[in-house]
A and B are shown apart, each in its own frame.
Chain A
Amino acid sequence: MLTYLPKRLGQGLLTVFLTVSVVFLLIRLAPGDPAAAFAGPLATSEELAAVREQFGLDAPIFQQYLIFIGQLFTGNLGTSYSFQAPAMTVVMERLPYTLTLATSSILLAALVAIPLGMWMARRADTGGEVGVNVLTVAGQSMPDFWTGIMLLTAFSVVLPIFPASGFTTWGGLVLPTITVAILQVALISRMVRREMVNNFNSPYLTIARSRGVSERLLTWRYALGNAGIPVFTALGTRFAAMLNGVVVVEVVFGWPGVGSLIVRALETRDYPLIQATVLITALLAVAVQLLIDLAYPLLDPRVRLGKAASV
């Protein structure tokens, strides 16, 4: 543990550093000129040159990169072109919205997918279960922008129950959460089903049954106790992925999170804002992944205790 944690932290920071470096280079290789986007289509070449100088884009890329590295250590990633505010501040203002949506989505997904998967495992290959399984495949196949628009049409337009856009009341959280969760429920419930069925068929379960352990305990204590470990990992990984912004859903619902922010930043070629967003979301993703890895030993004694010498 004493060498593990610093090693994992080092790996995580290296991942973040490589990610931001690659993004730094890629946005500069991509077509589109931030100065032109900022100054507008009628700008003269003198005006464009002035903007480039103001943004520091007239320097060679390598020099810009060195400046960027320096900024990484100070935590100040420059001024956003379009917001005319520190890029980090802009991102941090948006972050709570994405965190809220990701948390509520993963909770809803877990609360639905785990019981659903257990139910499917219990009734594996019966008529009803096959029907539900087909529905989960459908759920996985529906693109989230389409699900989002359908939910908006049904519950904001036809039946005006929930607000159509933004996050001004808690009701505004409902439709985006459902939209994000549907795909996760489809994936996680089938994973729970598969893991549970595997455990139902494992020798230790049959032998526990042979010594009179009740079916209820076999399901919860034995099968779920073992199936829970990979499911927990999957939920954690999905959560980490959502923190990078649930881009499409945020745009559909006008959700003021990191996902809609990065779309805007890309449209305006707002380099500092893109870099700040990527830095923050990469840091978060790495941190969540590290937390999952650290929680793993708590769930699995084989990881916690290792292969001790046998007596």
Chain B
Amino acid sequence: MSTLTHNEAPPYTAVLEVKNLSVELMTDNGVFKAVDNVSFSIGRGETVTIIGESGSGKSTTAMALLQLLPRDLAVLSGAVRIKGKDVLSDHQTIKKFRGRGLALIPQDPMTALSPVLSIGSQLREAIKITGKVKGKEAIHAKAMELLGQVRIPLVEEQLKKFPHQLSGGMLQRVLIAIALASEPELLVADEPTSALDVTVQAGILDLMLEIQETRGTAILMITHDIGVARLVSDTIHVMQRGRFVESGDARQVVEEPSEEYTRKLLAAVPRLGDWDESMPVEESHV
């Protein structure tokens, strides 16, 4: 396992710092260690990706550091600091960041909004939570501005709509607008494109990178898609069975993987090209 290059850089201030994070989940079949002694950090304007298969513990890591796992079913240990503040030892601390500098882009936009509340009311609520915009008119104007920023057409009409009336891609834009309302310094994106059509995936990633560029947002990207990882990341951590098996610079991990598991993960990506009958079919239980 290679060490992270930025650990040696002295002026580096981490937006997110995770040290020896472990998550034990209480299941019907006993205690299951979903995340095992994981450490990483993300600086301003940086994108760190955790890549792994389903069940590798990557989403659990994200949910754990956001304190979104049910407290009676998940036991967390280690340290998680957001902008230097420990959010693990006191579960009230995270509430100061939620919706104010910290935002989550969920995996499935279709189930991420309340079906009985309009897009507008859920967006306006997120704006109110920041406490920075006051008054009905100003909040409405801000909502329109945010939807414009995520390039949703016919803003005024969309605000009145309900989640079931929008496509997955549009809903993910709405959720990014909601995230944007919090003026995010740390954006946790939990497989933000995996539930979307291939044709809209790139647009969503572009939008996130654009936010990063203009705001200097730190992004934690959770994905199983090596293509996504290569496109957006500065640093990649490869996760298997709750552990980081390989960590390093994005280009290096993708092009010169040092671990057998990473090589298998890379090989599992379907490539467009001539059909090679002689190629052995790799089983996905790498």
Contacts and interface: CB of A to CB of B under 8 A. Distances in A.
A41 interface: no
Interface in A198-252: 202-213, 217, 221-222, 225-226, 229
A186 to B, nearest CB: 27
Contact of B170 (A206, A207, A310): A310
B196 interface: no
Given A212-B98, A307-B164, A311-B170, A225 B68 contact: no
B268 interface: no
Contacts of B116: 225-226, 229, 299-301
A212 B162 contact: no
Interface stretch (B35-43, B105-113, B251-259): B105-113
A308 B165 contact: yes
Contacts of A210: 66, 68, 98, 103-104
A8 interface: no
B178 interface: yes
A202 B163 CA distance: 15
B159 interface: no
B contact face: mostly helix, strand, loop, or mixed: loop
A229 B175 CA distance: 25
Interface string B82-125: 00000000000001001110011010100111111110001001
Do most interface residues of chain A lie in helix, strand or loop, or is the interface mixed? helix
A311 B167 contact: yes
B129 interface: yes
B164 A204 contact: no
B223 interface: no
A305 B165 contact: yes
Given A204-B113, A305-B162, A310-B170, A211 B126 contact: yes
Contacts of A204: 111-115
A302 interface: yes
A35 B68 CA distance: 74
B269 interface: no
A303 to B, nearest CB: 10
A210 B158 CA distance: 23
Nearest to B166: A310
B153 interface: yes
B95 to A, nearest CB: 7
B182 interface: yes
Which residue of A202, A209, A212, A226 has the most chain B CB atoms within 10 A of its CB atom?
Answer: A212
A302 B165 CA distance: 8
A311 B164 contact: no
A311 B153 contact: yes
B126 to A, nearest CB: 5
A310 B117 contact: no
B9 interface: no
Nearest to A217: B125
Contacts of B179: 211
A216 to B, nearest CB: 13
Given A301-B164, A302-B164, A211 B98 contact: yes
B162 A209 contact: no
A221 B114 CA distance: 9
A213 B100 CA distance: 11
Contact of B114 (A225, A307, A310, A311): A225
Nearest to A204: B114
B154 interface: yes
Contacts of A308: 161, 165
Nearest to A225: B116
A301 B122 CA distance: 14
Contacts of A203: 106, 108, 111-112
Contacts of A207: 104, 106, 112-113, 175
Contacts of B108: 203
Contact of A208 (B114, B115, B154): B114
6 contacts: A204-B112, A211-B129, A225-B117, A305-B164, A310-B165, A311-B166
User: Which 5 residue pairs spanning A and B have beta carbons closest together?
Assistant: A212-B99, A310-B167, A212-B98, A210-B104, A301-B162
Interface of A: 202-213, 217, 221-222, 225-226, 229, 299-302, 305, 307-308, 310-311
